[in-house]
Structure formats: C-alpha cells, structure tokens
Structure 1
Amino acid sequence: MITRSLSALLRPLALVAVTATLSACASAPTQYYTLAASDPANVQGTARYGVNLHDVTIPDVVYKPQLMVRSSTDSSAVAPLNGSRWAGSLQDEIQKTLSANLVSRLGAINVQGLAGSEQKLPVWLIQTTFHRFDMILNKAAVIDVTWRINPVRMGTQSARVCQTRIQVQAGSGVDSLVQSQSQALALLSDVIAGAIDGRTQVRANDGAQIQSLGCHSG
C-alpha cells in the first residue's frame, strides 16, 4: 500500500522532469548563417559591362536548410546541424555571394533578371556547377567547381570552361567553418574575375589551397 502510494506520488514529478527537459531542448535557439560577400562593392561610375551569374548547381546532399557537415576529411558521412541553418536557400546564398564579389572586383553591374540591360550592355554570362561543397567541422571548407564564362557582345573575347578546387582551413566551431566557406567563395570569385579581366589577383592566405584542374575554350 505504501509502495503504491509512493509510486503514485512520484509519477507526476517524473512527468514534470520530462516536460522540463523537452522544453529546454525546444527552447535552444537556432542560429542562422549567411555567406556574405568578402568585401563591399566600391566602384563608382559607368560600368563597362555587366555580369550575369545565371546558373548555380550544387550537390543534392547539401541542398538542405541545415548546415551539412563532415566529421573528417576522409569521411563519406554527412550529417545535418539542426541548430544551424542557412538564412536563405544555399543555392541563393552562393549565387548572391559570387555575384556581389564579382561586381566588386570587376567594376561591373549585376544584370541578372534585367533583360533590357542585357540587350544593350556587353555581358559576361557565368555558370557554376559545384561538385563538392564540403564543410569539415573544426578542419576545413572545400569546394570543387566547374565554371563557364561566356561573353555576349564582347568583341573578340571567347568563352572558357574551367574546374577549380579550393580548400580553406577552419578553426573550431561553426562560425569559423562558415567564414572559411565564405573565404573559399571569395577565392573562387578572384579566379573567375582574373579569367575575365586578366588583372584581378588571387588573394590566397597561408591557410588556403587553390588547384586548377584544367581549362579549355568553348
């Protein structure tokens, strides 16, 4: 009788404890991340041409609201960080970041979606296909990209297709990892801008590796 009464007394307390635990888990704040452009556009005056980053393709495995991370460089397993999400779709984040970087480096204007401007202004059409968009927690960010630049109303300029692999070391934590991925996109922007204007310098630091996997015209 005493045992049954004690059990009945503890049951509500256990329920309160479980409810409190679930509430604590549910109240953990979600962090939202963005791949910001590496520096603001600071070129003023009349642009010589426009840029249109009109196609960005990314692997399905990372096309999620959550940040998808690997635990080690040689790991094939990718896991979501449910408390860490992209502020927008990852595809849009990459497109906006690369466009802003290229506008800044080239002194161009972004004419994506502006059909009227494209009919009058020389334009570089740019496509990117990401074969890898790896975020290796506490280690590095890695991208492997095939990109194409196609001149429209640009005289003797010719199209080019290249593949580039970039790795940037990351410190501990998610913030550092996102920053490294943003730096990798900044370096990719330098490489593409250099192919367009022949003057933009790639600004790699000691923690970055840039590898050209080949280029050809067409």
Structure 2
Amino acid sequence: MNFLRVPFVLLLTGVLGLAGCSVHQPTSLYQLDSGDPGQPKQSAGVAVLLGPVSVADYLQRETLLQRQADGSLTASTDGRWAGSLSADIDQLLLRQLAWKLDSQRVVMAPAAANFTPDVQVVLSITRLDSGENQPAVLDAQWRLLDRRGTVRDSKLIHLEEPHAGTSAAQVKAQGVLLQRLAEQLSAAVKPVASQPLVAEEPKKAAQPAKTRTDQDKPKIPMASPIRTDLEVFRF
C-alpha cells in the first residue's frame, strides 16, 4: 500500500506545482509615457489651475483594457496599470502644460486658498483606450475659465494614434495622445490668459422717489356756464 501511495503523492505534487506556476505567472506593469518635458524656468509665468480632471468610470481600474473590432472591451491577460491611471494622467498633463507654458505656476486642483489662477482648465476624459488591432483613441472636452470664472473657451477633442500592437506599444500611444492634448491645451490657454477681464456694466444709481405735490395732482376743468333758456354746466 505504501508503495502505491508514493507515485500518487508525486503526481499530486506535480499538479499543484503546475497550478502554482499558472497562478503566479508574472504580469507586466505599465505607466503612461510622459515624453521628455523640460523644466519650466519662469517662476512668475501664467498661473494655471488644472482641474477638476474627470476620467471615465470604465478606466477606474488596474486592468489594462483591450478594445475589440466590435467596440467591446476585454481585460488584458498579461498587463495592468502600475498604480492609478487617473493620477498618471494628472501628472502627465501637469508637467506637459508647465513645460509648454514655461511656468512654475501650474498646479492641480484643489489649489491653496491664496492661489489666484489666470486660467482654470476643467477637463473631462471620456475615452482613452486601444486594442491589438485598434488604434489608441482619446475623447475629451475642456473648458477654460478666466479670473472671474467666466467660460472663455470650450472644445471637444477626438485624437487617434497608431501603434505596433503590443501592450507596451499601446500604452506608449496613449501617452502620446495625452501629450498632444496638452499641446492643444497650452495653445488655447495663452490667449485666454492675456485677455482683459470682461468689464461689468455700471450700475445705475437709484432714483429717489418723487414726492407727490399739488402740481402733480390731476387738474379738474372748471365749470363754465352756457347761457341758454336753462342753466347748463359743462364739465
């Protein structure tokens, strides 16, 4: 009996070992490519508040998603994000904008109470994905607000970027899309930051209420007699 149990134990050990290898198969971790942004030099450049930046709900996950030809999304089996994708997007856009505007005064929302931005960028990213045979696609909308909170510019963006098909190539292409978005944003921010504030219409001084006088009272015509056989008064 003991002799027969030994092969069974060895077989069971081998099966468990193979299962362990399949469960602990290494997974690649990815981060967005922020390019090579330089260090902004102007400490007194344009003041920009970046945010709120909202990202579509389906992107709020660690798994790297793959877009299929029919438009559906599947989870990648060999890759996931190394941390928060939303945080990666924020930092990429922040560094790119600061570099392209050459300003150290580009901050993420919420900002300190004493920070007064020349321009606030409100951004919504509704799509950022790709597939092995599908290009990387970015859909977004921005709104630019001046110092008084008045919307000065608004735009819908659709960008596409081809890639080689691998997960690494797809992530790189998505990073390139965000760099292109930052380039367009910086070009839109500059004229808004230099625009004068919208002048407020002067308020009209309140007119004092008039006091009713005897001259304002309606005048009743005086009766004048008409000489006929009868005394008739015309009013």
Partner of 2:71: 76
Partner Cα separation in structure 2 for residue 38 and residue 148 of structure 1: 24
Quick check: which has more Rg, 1 or 2? 2
1:34 aligns with 2:31: yes
Cα distance in structure 2, aligned partners of 1:151 and 1:128:
15
Alpha-carbon distance in structure 2 between the residues aligned to 1:84 and 1:11: 36
Q: TM (normalized to structure 2)? A: 0.71
Q: Against the structure 1 CA distance between its residues 45 and 195, is the aligned structure 2 distance closer, same or farther, given a 3 Å change threshold? A: closer
Name the counterpart of 1:86. Answer: 81
Counterparts of 1:126-141 in structure 2, within 5 Å, are 126-141=121-136
- Partner of 1:45, secondary structure, is coil
Tell me how far apart the structure 2 counterparts of residues 52 and 22 of structure 1 sit (CA, whole Å): 51
RMSD: 2.4
Equivalent residue runs for 1:173-212 within 5 Å: 173-197=166-190
In the TM superposition, residue 83 of structure 1 has moved relative to its aligned partner by 3.6
> 2:67 and 2:134 mapped to 1: Cα distance?
10
Change (3 A) 1:158 1:128: closer
By how many angstroms is 1:127 displaced?
Answer: 1.6
- Correspondence 1:65 to 2:62: yes
Contact 2:49/2:111 (<8 A) preserved: no
User: In 2, Cα distance between the equivalents of 1:82 and 1:149?
Assistant: 39
Trace 1:44-193 onto structure 2 (pairs within 5 A): 44-72=41-69, 75-108=70-103, 109-112=105-108, 113-116=110-113, 118-119=115-116, 122-152=117-147, 159-193=152-186
Q: Equivalent residue of 1:111, what SS?
A: strand
CA distance in 2, matches of 1:96, 1:28: 30
Gaps of 5+ in 2: 192-235
- Residue aligning to 1:207: none
Query: Contact conserved, 1:39 with 1:104, CA < 8 A, in 2?
Result: no
Percentage of pairs with the same residue: 24
Q: 1:111, 1:118 within 8 Å by CA — same for their partners in 2?
A: no
Matched position secondary structure for 1:28: coil
Q: Mind listing any 5+ residue stretches in structure 1 that lack a counterpart?
A: 199-218
Matches of 2:98 and 2:63, distance apart in 1 = 28
